[in-house]
Structure 1
Amino acid sequence: MPTTNGPAAHTATAAALLPLVGGAGNVVSVAHCMTRLRLGLRDRALVREDALRALPAVLGVVDDDTYQIVLGPGAVARVAGEFEALVAAPAPTADELAGRGAELKAAQRQRNATPVKLLLRRVANIFVPLIPALIGCGIIAGLNGLLVNLHLLPSLTPALTAIASGFMALIAVFVGHNTAKEFGGTPILGGAVAAIVVYAGVAKVTAFGMTLSPGQGGVLGALAAALLATYVEKACRGRVPGTLDVLLTPTVTVLVAGLVTLYGLMYVAGEVSAAIGTAANWLLSTTGAFAGLVLGGLFLPLVMLGLHQALIPIHTTLIEQQGYTVLLPLLAMAGAGQVGAALAVYVRLRHDQSLRTTIRSALPAGLLGVGEPLIYGVSLPLGRPFVTACAGGAAGGAFVGFFSMLGDRVGSTAIGPSGWALFPLLSGNRSLAITAAIYAGGLLTGYLTGFAATYFFGFGGTVRGVCDSAVGQSTARGGNPTP
């Protein structure tokens, strides 16, 4: 399924998508993450899913809390902008906005709206918008470290340090802003309270015989502070007279939430953050191989269930504390197992040209850590290859975890990328060459194990029987089966 780049191609993709999701009148909201266009739809019965999957630019479709169309990194942001412009062009009538659309939307949300999933989605909505800045600053930090180690451009490295570190120094403010926005408060008040966490003057604050440190509690403290500010603000809105609201509500919100943050939340969040760092280091230094096996093997199912979002604050806390997260390279091995499994399917199912075409087009994205095309287009529909892909991820995770037990920690300075795209973000307690070699060894282990497990155990019955089944799956995706 080849795709093309350029503004015209993105406009054409957006124009092709709109009628297939029921038109502009059926679209309630438009958003996107790194790979997926996320649409709120009034009536999902109007979606022509087979036709959507058949579009060359569409890598997969996920029917979840929002209707998610996988377009891949880079393309999704551009298509989302064009799509939003198309949706905004016609103004829906009052009758279209009313009716049973709201009821259908609420029913769809209720289907998967377990309290845990809803909470994790809200947490993800706080941190996912920060990922582009984490990636950009992480790559600059890696480049700067390389220049320092090689003693090159000494006059430039202080500037690169400032550029790479500025965002991380103030990440608590952005977390506070996004937290208040997500939970229905005023974003700037959430950011104002969260800014207390990183303000240098907190070093002069003493309570219970202890002195605070700037940044104590990190992003967890900022999240808790902004959440508290949101509840205080909502309580004020319901009690303060309208004439005084503009003066009293912001003042009371910042004052109450600020005092609780200084004399409680920063201490508690600081202890929790320290415990996360200590636990991660202990886990990898004492049970590294086993921890890597479990994390690498279970990450794909966690993604399918949406539970991987719980790891985002942990990654961010580790990056803030140690400069890198040691968990992401382990989890990235799941993608390596997926690539190996897809290659085995490609070799075994020689007669299914439609499926082989899907694999050829999705494999480059898989190598760069974008796994949705291979998951939803190849391994998950076939069943067993999804399980054997998890086995490959477990083997790769165990490989990287084993070296952590030996004292060679492999980490990432940002979250989001995986696969080959993670190489520019690698960091650790050894030289960059050693860190990259261990990570590369983990990828190779994941590829080989995923391939071998799928080739020998990923198919039931004869290959021809599996091929026929896969052809049926390809047809359901809108592909053309080969006789």
Structure 2
Amino acid sequence: MSTPPGNGNKNSNKNRATAEAILPLVGGAANITGVTHCMTRLRLTLVDRTLVQDDELRALPAVLGVVEDDTYQIVLGPGTVARVTPEFESLVEQERAETPKTAPETAPRTAEQLASQGAALKAARKQKNATPFKLFLRRIANIFVPLIPALIGCGIIAGLNGLLINLGWLPGITPALAAMASGFMALIAVFVGLNTAKEFGGTPILGGAVAAIIVFPGVANITAFGQKLSPGQGGVLGALGAAVLATYIEKWCRKWVPEAIDVLVTPTITVLLTGLVTIFGLMYVAGEVSTGIGTGANWLLDHTGAFAGLVLGGLFLPLVMLGLHQALIPIHTTLIEQQGYTVLLPILAMAGAGQVGAAIAVYLRLRHNRSIRNTIKSALPAGFLGVGEPLIYGVSLPLGRPFITACVGGAAGGAFVGFFSMIGDKVGSTAIGPSGWALFPLLDGNHGLGTTVAIYGAGLLTGYLAGFLATYFFGFSPQMLTDLNADAPDAPDARTPAPEPDPEPANA
């Protein structure tokens, strides 16, 4: 269908208007030192957090919620954030060019008060989120999250190609589609190496160079630990380890190699030493670990599928709150690299289904609370598509008990999908990131596409229903219903996130 004349300009103007509305509410360009985005969030590094006007920001129609972590994160939703971010960056640069020496305006207060507030905020946030383990998980996420768009695109092309092959259509096109879908996965280790070196402070191209050893066909002629190596052995885990090692070797070289010969010696030593360790150590060790991950995931679902699904689906929302779900990203990627799909993601996606069911129950139970009901109406479409932050931070988590009953819905949906995996019908995803209805184009499994789609769809319905029933009947105490079931000024604002949750740094 052709695009109506002027529609592109209309969308561009809308995105520009959103960026223009956000910028002054976060303190202007002078208060911003960094702008990035993930799948759903505009992430800002701020000079002074106290300059942000939170309530006004949450009230913007395009803003689905805000989350605080090491960056200030504004939830705009998939698609929208990728269009608003360039407009926002353009406005920041424009404002800086016009007023390069103008400091951000502050509310009337003394310098001592401002310094005290800023120090308190910084200390509290640092104490809560800067644990070594969480910092490590953030680094892992920073390595793998940038790969998600390619995983999604290639995954959808792979699904389309499989459908065409099954139907016997366009036989002259399917080999080209197979190349498009498989090319990225064949070299994913190289991209992991690049991102890892960048994240750990090394030279990205050197990280990519040592990771490329893993996928080079010539390694098949090398014997290590009494067996021939195979191209790709060790996969993304081997690439990650090789790039980290290369970074530390590179930094060590920079300390003692004279500047005059640094450009010759440092890269050579980095690639040589890391390459030897990779070929005669990391590829074998990482290969064994990767194989163990695949074997373990399959064994878990083959033998304890319903129970495993119940636990994974029920605990995923709390894992997201704590930021611990990032540890699963390399596991998903390893499974996709090994088997073509990850069997864990569809089960974890059931947590979002429980959240949607719980939100619908809240909507019906709080018939007179227009504030919460309006938030649910605006957030539900995104929730069905797998974007759960608006419902989590805006509805269930602040209310308390509905968050627990949403987890019950996720557990029921996870147990449903896990049960079918246990009886031999595996449901997987060819990419990570999307969930909810958005995961349908990425589904794959060990049986036909129709069976896979039917199981996943029925799992979503189970999660919706269980989350709804658990919340409707057990999500509120009588006192909560009395206090909340009115459109009073002091009713909890459904747009306000729970105090100090540990957010999801990369929307899944």
CA apart distance, 1:349: 0.8
Q: 2:366 aligns with which of 349, 364, 368?
A: 349
**TM-score, scaled to structure 2:** 0.90
Aligned in 2, Cα 1:378/1:105: closer, same or farther, shift over 3 Å?
closer
Partner of 1:47: 52
Report the secondary structure of 1:369's partner residue.
coil
Find out whether 1:62 has 2:79 as its counterpart: no
1:238 equivalent in structure 2: 255
Matched, 1:465 2:470: no
Partner of 2:33: 28
1:193 to 206, 210, 231: 210
Q: 1:263 to 1:457 in 2, by over 3 A?
A: same
Corresponding residue for residue 501 of structure 2:
none
Q: For residues 410 and 355 of structure 2, what CA distance do their matches in structure 1 show?
A: 7
Instruction: Report the equivalent of 1:223.
Output: 240
Q: Which amino acid aligns with 1:77?
A: A
Alpha-carbon offset, residue 402 of structure 1: 0.4
Deviation for aligned residue 1:464: 3.2
Measure the CA separation in 2 of the matches of 1:478 and 1:407. Answer: 44
TM-superposed deviation, 1:471: 6.3
What SS is found at the alignment partner of 1:58? Answer: coil
- In structure 2, runs of 5+ residues without a counterpart are 1-8, 105-113, 498-508
After alignment, is 356-365 or 221-230 more displaced? Answer: 356-365
In 1, Cα distance between equivalents of 2:383 and 2:266:
49
**1:381 corresponding residue in structure 2:** 398
SS at match of 1:296: helix
One-letter amino acid of the structure 1 residue matched with residue 22 of structure 2? L
Amino acid at match of 2:274: A
2:160 aligns with 143
Residue 369 of structure 1: aligned partner = 386
Shift of 1:5: 7.2
* Partner SS for 1:62: strand
Contact kept? 1:42, 1:102, Cα under 8 Å: no
Describe the shift of the 1:16–1:401 C-alpha distance in structure 2 as closer, same or farther (beyond 3 A): same
- Whether the aligned pair in 2 keeps the contact of 1:31 and 1:39 (CA below 8 Å) is yes
Give runs of aligned pairs for residues 42-441 of structure 1, distance below 5 A. 42-89=47-94, 90=96, 92-93=100-101, 107=123, 108-441=125-458
Residues 93-132 of structure 1: CA deviation (Å, up to 9, x unaligned): 4988xx9799789644454101111000000000000000
Q: CA deviation at 1:173?
A: 0.4
Give the counterpart letter for 1:442 in structure 2: G
Residue range with higher mean Cα deviation, 231-240 or 207-216: 207-216
CA gap of 1:113–1:478, structure 2 versus 1, over 3 A, is: closer
| Aligned partner letter, 2:316 | F
Q: Report the 3-state secondary structure (helix = DSSP H, G, I; strand = E; otherwise coil) of the residue aligned with 2:35.
A: strand
Unaligned runs of 5+ in 1: none
Q: Percent identity?
A: 74
Contact in 1 for aligned 2:157/2:177 (Cα 8 Å): yes
82-91 vs 369-378, greater mean Cα deviation: 82-91
Q: 1:263–1:149: structure 2 CA closer, same or farther, 3 Å change rule?
A: same
Contact 1:460 1:466 in 2 (8 A): no
Q: CA 1:138 to 1:145, structure 2 compared with 1: closer, same or farther past 3 Å?
A: same
C-alpha contact (below 8 Å) 1:315/1:325 kept by paired residues: yes
CA contact (8 A) 2:372 2:494 kept: no
Deviation digits for residues 382-434 of structure 1, max 9, x if unmatched?
A: 11111100000000000000011101100000000100111110000011111
Structure 1 pair 380–86 and aligned structure 2 pair: CA distance change class (3 A): same
Q: CA RMSD in A?
A: 2.1
C-alpha contact 1:331 1:397 (8 A) present in aligned 2: yes
Preserved CA contact (<8 Å) 1:293 1:397: yes
Structure 2 Cα separation of the partners of residues 155 and 426 of structure 1: 24
- Shift of the 478–375 alpha-carbon distance from structure 1 to 2, 3 Å rule, reads closer
Return the alpha-carbon distance in structure 2 between the equivalents of residues 238 and 390 of structure 1. Answer: 51
User: Using the alignment, how far apart are the partners of 1:140 and 1:95 within structure 2?
Assistant: 49
Equivalent residue for 2:503? none
Partner of 2:502: none
**Residues 104 and 240 (structure 1), Cα distance of their counterparts in 2 relative to 1, 3 Å cut:** farther
Structure 1 contact 355–470 (Cα < 8 Å) conserved: no
Q: What is the aligned residue count?
A: 474
Contact map agreement 1:352 1:471 (CA 8 A) in 2: no
Amino acid of the structure 2 residue aligned with 1:290: F
Deviation at 1:88, TM superposition (A): 2.2
CA-CA distance at 1:346 after TM superposition: 0.8
Verify the 8 A CA contact 1:381 1:473 in the aligned structure 2.
no
**Pick aligned residue for 1:14 from 16, 19, 25:** 19
